[in-house]
Amino acid sequence: MLRSDGRAQEQTPLNRTGADEAAARLPTLIVVVVAMAAVSLAVAVRTGAYLGPEAYTSIAREFPGSAVATAAAVLRSVAEMFSVLSLGTLTLGLMFISRTRSLGWSSASHSVRGMLRIFSAVWSTTALILIVVDALNTNGTSFSALGGPSQLWFALTATFYARAWLIVFGAAFLVFVVSMFAESWAAHAFALGVGSVSVLAPVVISQVLVGPNHDLAEDAAMIQTPVIAVTLGAAVTAVFVELLHPRIGLLRRLARSWMLWLGILVIVDFDIVITWFKLAGQTLSGSITGWQMLIRWVGLAVIVIGLLRARSGRSPWAIGAVLVGFTGWSAMTAAMTLAPSPNYFAQTRTIEVFLGYAVDAAPEFLTLLSAWRIDLLMTTIAAVAMIAYGVGRQTIRRRGETWPLLHTVSWMAGWVTAIAVTSSGVGKYSTADFGLHMVVHMVLNMIVPILLVLGGPLSLLQQATAGSGRVALQIHARIEALIMWRWTKFLLHPLLVFVVYVSSLYILYLTPVFGSLVQYHFGHQLMNVSVLIIGCAFFSLVVGIDRLPAELPQLGRLGFLLAAMPFHAFFGIVLTTAQIPVAQNFYRSIDLDWLDISGAQAVAGVAVWAGGQLPLLAAVIILAVRWTRQDGRADSRADDVRRLHGERDAYGDALARLARRGAGAPTGRRGSASDATASQQAGALQDHDAL
């Protein structure tokens, strides 16, 4: 399916036998998938009918009519199931199907690719229809009430749901296109990344957006949702492959993968956080949401039992358990979106509506140091990055190789800084104070990226996977393929990176974009992650030690830095002198007694100026030190070359004197000494040449 060299696998008699076997078993697989979808649809329709109009009126929405409500429930159920199946199929292909070129895998790879095409086609089609249907559903508009394009346009723009499903449709269609036309591993890996991020769109604007502590719930959902898709999706897809190709034993191989069990552990951990948030103090048996959570947990437990049996080789029981457990999990996940959870009705202050927590005290110095509130998303990303880096470094050391300690310290310091600036009082108050927000922005965009790129994570990964072992060598080859992929070259092109890095400040803060994003926790996290990625891309070209598709010469790197400095300085001046504060309507709406909106903007301007110039100056110093060292090494090599040339000239002179002596030149005491010296020099130089 996904060959690193981009070529399709050859068809052989053994492959054709596997294909014939899969074709004979295909009706069974179709029946299984249809049955799973039918159960999920039945649960969604029954839940919607049981809740009725009260599910809408209880949260101040108009009931759109039974037809729209039922269509939305059915389509959401289908989208939930087939998004997981699509991303799981991609994951399975990247992990196992593409791992070997042996002839026995070709028929399975074709089966996986066929499933990916069908699943992604259903997913993208459903998401496309949901753009309209869910817009009507959330606006309380029935099909019969649509009087013309103006009403449809109002429904599409009045809430986030239409835009969310548009994002999902774009990613799903990309997955479908890749499954149809792409052969490379890098293209499928890119599609998996885009798809895993896109499934967050309808999640972060739904139940986890409402109520006290929703910042923690949204972070948990942002982490859990992609993990569910790739983990449970891969498990179910492995069952489908097992049904078509029982001799491969793919389910057993997946069940023995530590990555699968790590994913399940992440699902359980963050589901506890989401359950705590949604119940809002109620018991599991005290609401429909609680019972839905319990049924989901039972489904997950059945999946775990099936995987444990598959791990020990008991495939028939394992197949049934995984299918039943996943159907229950998927059906309840879709049904949960229909029932308003208790967190909707929890008592909430105005500030908690926007932030998820209160910030009553003024952000004094001691408050900023002591008032910590964990940023689950950034802390989890940082923890995973530091653990993975440590594992890679330990792998290198076990082989007897070395990895510079300074690189490790820089990488760890970068992530510790990211945790500190987002989880300390600075990060907590940054959602309510524009000045502190800009401090967080500049640290994540300037300081943290410099530290991270000096850690050389790609170089570490390449060195750690360059050892012996088939799997390690294949991972190494795929990393190389991903780095040298033409779209990676495009995304990391110096001109594009520079334009995005410089313009992002102006686009974000001098347009309505910031005013729209700052009202929501997912908007803050989107900004934090985006500025961190943009900063890493910029500084990887300037002071990074990793090998990239497009590398700048030393003079070009210096020009890169110097060209960026005026833009930050000018933006700081713009903020400081602006008459209308950025996002002033939002900051007025949160109504904090201690907040000075104009003063916060002045602090933001200073933060941009100092936070932009000082890190760039530090990067210039780093670049200058490297340049000096490089010149020193070049001078040393030049001295070695000159010394060698001098020695060779002396060697030639010595040979000439020996030749004259052999021709009968007169010798004396002084000449004998000279000839002896010449002989010694010739012998030494011959030894040098031999070395």
479 and 513 fall within a common domain: yes
Question: Is 569 within a domain?
Answer: yes
Tell me the C-alpha distance between 548 and 389, whole Å: 19
Q: Is 149 exposed, middle or buried (0-12, 13-18, 19+ CB in 10 A)?
A: exposed
Three-state secondary-structure class, residue 283: coil
**pLDDT, position 185:** 86
Q: Sign of dihedral through CA atoms 621, 623, 626, 631?
A: negative
Using one digit for the tens of pLDDT, what is the confidence trace for 372-389?
999 999 999 999 999 999
Q: What is the DSSP secondary structure assignment for residue 3, as one 8-state letter? A: B
400 and 336 fall within a common domain: no
Tell me the C-alpha distance between 99 and 112, whole Å: 13
**pLDDT, position 248:** 81
Q: What is the DSSP secondary structure assignment for residue 1, as one 8-state letter? A: -
Could you tell me how many helices (H) and strands (E) the chain has, helices first? 30, 0
C-alpha distances out from residue 422 to 140, 208, 524, 601, Å: 38, 20, 11, 19
Question: Is 182 within a domain?
Answer: yes
340 and 382 fall within a common domain: no
Question: Is 111 within a domain?
Answer: yes
Question: Is 646 within a domain?
Answer: no
316 and 396 fall within a common domain: no
Split into its structural domains, the chain has a count of 2
339 and 425 fall within a common domain: no
- Give the ranges where 199-314 is alpha helix by DSSP (H): 201-204, 214-244, 250-255, 258-279, 288-311
Percent of residues, the chain, with pLDDT higher than 90: 60
Question: Is 645 within a domain?
Answer: no
Using one digit for the tens of pLDDT, what is the confidence trace for 79-110?
999 999 999 999 988 887 544 443 334 577 88
pLDDT higher than 90, residue 591: no
Residue 670 half-sphere exposure, CB side, CA atoms within 13 Å? Answer: 0
399 and 545 fall within a common domain: yes
Instruction: Match 């200073």 to its residue by tokens.
Output: 606
Provide mean pLDDT across the span 34-59: 92
302 and 436 fall within a common domain: no
Which of 298, 331, 348 is where one domain is finished? Answer: 348
Residue type, 91: T
Please give the model's pTM, rounded to 2 decimal places. Answer: 0.86
**How does residue 660 score in pLDDT terms, banded at 50, 70 and 90?**
low
Which of 638, 661, 677 is where one domain is finished? Answer: 638
Provide mean pLDDT across the span 261-269: 96
237 and 309 fall within a common domain: yes
Neighbours of 371 (CB within 10 A): 17
Q: What is the DSSP secondary structure assignment for residue 60, as one 8-state letter? A: T
Using one digit for the tens of pLDDT, what is the confidence trace for 537-576?
999 998 888 988 888 887 888 888 888 888 888 999 999 8
**pLDDT, position 271:** 96
Q: Which of 86, 25, 30, 34 is nearest to 234 (CA)?
A: 86
439 and 298 fall within a common domain: no
Question: Is 362 within a domain?
Answer: no
Q: What is the DSSP secondary structure assignment for residue 547, as one 8-state letter? A: -
Q: Sign of dihedral through CA atoms 271, 227, 106, 82?
A: positive
pLDDT higher than 80, residue 3: no
447 and 344 fall within a common domain: no
Which of 348, 364, 396 is where one domain is finished? Answer: 348
Which of the pair, 83 or 638, is modelled with greater confidence? 83
335 and 192 fall within a common domain: yes
Task: State the residue range of the domain holding 522.
Answer: 374-638
Question: Is 367 within a domain?
Answer: no
Provide mean pLDDT across the span 664-677: 47
Instruction: Kindly give the interhelix angle for 66-95 and 106-139, rounded to the nearest 10 degrees.
Output: 150
Question: Is 79 within a domain?
Answer: yes
Provide mean pLDDT across the span 356-362: 93
DSSP string, 665-676: ----HHHHHHHH
**How does residue 477 score in pLDDT terms, banded at 50, 70 and 90?**
confident
* Tokens matching residue 312: 């020990």
* Residue ranges with strand state E in 613-656: none
306 and 416 fall within a common domain: no
